[in-house]
Amino acid sequence: MIEITDLIKTFDGNRVLNGVNLTISDNVLMAIIGKSGGGKSVLLKHLIGLLKPDSGKILVDGTDITTLGQRDMDKVREHLGVLFQGGALFDSINVYDNVAFPLREKTKLSEAEINDRVVQALNDVGLKGVEMKFPAEVSGGMRKRVALARTLITEPRIVFFDEPTTGLDPIILSSIHRLIMTTHKKHGFTGVIISHEIPEIFDVADRIAMLHEGVIVETGTPDEIRNSSNPIVAQFISGGLEGPIAAV
Amino acid sequence: MLNIVRKLGAWALSTLRKMGDMLIFLTNAVYFAFVPPFKFRLLLKQIRFFGNKSMVVILLTGSFAGMVLALQLYYTLRKFGSDALLGPAIALSLIRELGPVLAALMVTGRAGSALTAEIGIMRISEQIDALSSMALNPFRYLIVPNLAAAVIVFPLLTAIFDVIGIFGGYVVAVDLLGMSGGTYFSQMEVFVDMKDIRMGLYKSLSFGLIVAWICCYKGFNTGYGAEGVSKSTTEAVVTSSVLILIWDYFMGSILL
Ligand SMILES: Nc1ncnc2c1ncn2[C@@H]1O[C@H](COP(=O)(O)OP(=O)(O)OP(=O)(O)O)[C@@H](O)[C@H]1O
Ligand SMILES: [Mg+2]
């Protein structure tokens, strides 16, 4: 269970999070939507302890992670999987080693067992024959899928996905969504997906939260969000130019 | 007037904060250098990185430094009628002073800048964040291997620089200026002490630490985007070079 209360974060006078309140129950797949530059990635970095808020609390299973020191934070992170927006693959090692990396560093599995799991994980994201390539040598969409394989390979209890499907073609998008759902059913992790895929994300997530101007303006089931009477939410999911959200 | 004082104060404070930040960085790195688990594979990789990048430039500058020294010192020494001491004069200048300093400057320009850029790119592409998010300490994986590698590699590269320089000097002295090769080397043995070699060693060890420290720090704290990386790379090279020369003076005055 993740409970975010009154989270505030300012970067040199730029108030990005302005009192975020959000609760994510165990085994729920929560999607966060909201406009570009709205602070979704910043919120996620607070959830993994990479950024410290100006004020507010983040309780993960009851412990406030905003006050944890590095060592205790690392204990929480043992159970996390994070897919960064840019993939964050290590560019000095090849695809195979990237996916194997968390297993090699965090577990005592033998190379043979690691090999089985890496092949399986790459297979799951639809990648074959790119094991020996370096991240710079594969396409952006492939990089994203390698990163997804690396995130899920440790079977984490809590998983954060920052735009797992942005920049992928519609077929791969569907298959990544399906992969996330089947993995979620199989391992039952608590998940947060930041996504711009509307309406596809409504079929993936259990709950949707919309972040706007530094606060969560609405949370609900996909159906509730779809039928929301909140003009901000309604404009955002319909992509309309008229409404409370200023178009550029 | 008040404005100037205020600006000065703000500048002093921010400089002080940066220096404190850098010291904390170094303390952290040294701490993790002595607390297992150690990443020996990464250490070997970084040793190769420094050596590979810098070898050619060390050979080139080393030989020319020796040759230039031979020309200049020969001219000076002959005025005092002591041109037989050319060998030891070259060796001493190289071992005590020019070898460590020039080698360090060359490695900074070649490998140090590359190091800052690499770590900086890891910062802006969130690879460092990815390490942290896996509960792995970036100092252990990135900073310690580089610090340790530099401390190992700098003395070695300096030694190569010295030797190549002495041979460069030999070529000029014997082939060009017509000295006897025997004198060149025999006098060297008489005049170069263990003390001189130790001084060169201490210098290159500390230069290694300084360069790796500054270059890692600048890369680790890179600002946004490609601009951030290019800025921190420049800063790393300039700061390292200045610190090398300042520290060289201090070492020289202490160890004289
Ligand atoms: N480390 C930082 N320092 C200063 N400002 C930052 C930092 N990180 C993010 N910001 C600012 O915070 C705001 C929100 O950025 P964020 O990356 O969270 O947006 P986002 O909602 O993830 O957008 P997108 O959907 O495009 O990924 C931006 O204005 C950005 O400039
Ligand atoms: Mg983002």
* Per-residue confidence (pLDDT) for residue A172, from 0 to 100: 87
Q: What ipTM does this complex have?
A: 0.92
* Per-residue confidence (pLDDT) for residue A246, from 0 to 100: 83
Q: Which residue has the higher pLDDT, A10 or A246?
A: A10
- Token readout for B151 is 């401390």
pLDDT tops 90 at residue B83: no
Tell me, using a 6 A CB cutoff, whether residue A41 lines ligand 1: yes
**Counting Cβ atoms within 10 Å, is residue A1 exposed (0-12), middle (13-18) or buried (19+)?**
middle
* Per-residue confidence (pLDDT) for residue B114, from 0 to 100: 96
Distance CA(A43)–CA(A39), nearest Å, equals: 6
pLDDT tops 90 at residue B225: no
Q: How far is CA A183 from CA A110, B88, B98, in A?
A: 24, 73, 62
Tell me, using a 6 A CB cutoff, whether residue A37 lines ligand 1: yes
- Token readout for A75 is 């204990």
* Per-residue confidence (pLDDT) for residue A84, from 0 to 100: 95
Average pLDDT on B234-255 reads 94
Average pLDDT on B51-79 reads 95
Give me the residues paired with residue A9 across strands. Answer: A17
Pairwise CB contact (< 8 Å): A91 & B121:
yes
Share of chain B above pLDDT 70, in %: 100
Residues A171-199 pLDDT 10s = 989 988 998 999 999 888 999 999 999 89
Domain limits, chain B: 54-255
pLDDT tops 90 at residue B84: no
**A39 Cα: distance to centroid of ligand 1 (angstroms):** 5
Average pLDDT on B11-38 reads 93
* Per-residue confidence (pLDDT) for residue B254, from 0 to 100: 86
**A68 Cα: distance to centroid of ligand 2 (angstroms):** 25
Average pLDDT on A106-123 reads 94
Identity of the residue numbered A145: R
Residues B126-166 pLDDT 10s = 999 999 999 999 999 999 999 999 999 999 999 999 999 99
Ligand nearest to the CA of A34: 1
- Chain B residue numbers touching A106 (CB-CB < 8 A): 134-136
* Per-residue confidence (pLDDT) for residue A193, from 0 to 100: 96
Tell me, using a 6 A CB cutoff, whether residue A42 lines ligand 1: yes
Average pLDDT on A90-105 reads 96
Confidence of residue B42 (pLDDT cuts 50, 70, 90): very high
* Per-residue confidence (pLDDT) for residue B66, from 0 to 100: 96
Pairwise CB contact (< 8 Å): B133 & A48:
yes
Q: Which residue from A minimizes the CA distance to B127? A: A88
Q: Tell whether B121 is within 8 A of chain A (Cβ).
A: yes
Of A45, A78, A90, the CB nearest to B135: A78
Total Cβ atoms within 10 A of residue A147: 26
Tell me, using a 6 A CB cutoff, whether residue A13 lines ligand 1: no
pLDDT tops 80 at residue B255: no
Question: Helix, strand, or coil here: A151?
Answer: helix
Residue ID of nearest Cα to ligand 1 atom 8 = A42
- Token readout for B12 is 């002093």
Total Cβ atoms within 10 A of residue A151: 27
Tell me, using a 6 A CB cutoff, whether residue A214 lines ligand 1: no
Residues B181-195 pLDDT 10s = 888 998 888 899 999
Please tell me the pTM assigned to this model.
Answer: 0.92
* Per-residue confidence (pLDDT) for residue B224, from 0 to 100: 83
- Chain A residue numbers touching B46 (CB-CB < 8 A): none
pLDDT tops 90 at residue B213: yes
Is residue A100 within 8 Å of A120, Cβ to Cβ? no
Q: How far is CA B181 from CA A51, A207, B85, in A?
A: 65, 85, 12
pLDDT tops 80 at residue A207: yes
Pairwise CB contact (< 8 Å): B133 & A77:
yes
pLDDT tops 80 at residue A248: no
Average pLDDT on B218-232 reads 93
Residues A126-169 pLDDT 10s = 898 899 999 999 998 899 999 999 999 999 999 999 999 988 89
Distance CA(B128)–CA(A82), nearest Å, equals: 13
pLDDT tops 80 at residue B256: no
* Per-residue confidence (pLDDT) for residue B82, from 0 to 100: 87
Q: What is the CA radius of gyration of chain B?
A: 21
* Per-residue confidence (pLDDT) for residue B181, from 0 to 100: 87
* Per-residue confidence (pLDDT) for residue B2, from 0 to 100: 81
Confidence of residue A221 (pLDDT cuts 50, 70, 90): very high
Residues A36-75 pLDDT 10s = 999 999 999 999 999 999 999 999 999 999 999 989 999 9
* Per-residue confidence (pLDDT) for residue B36, from 0 to 100: 87
* Per-residue confidence (pLDDT) for residue A244, from 0 to 100: 86
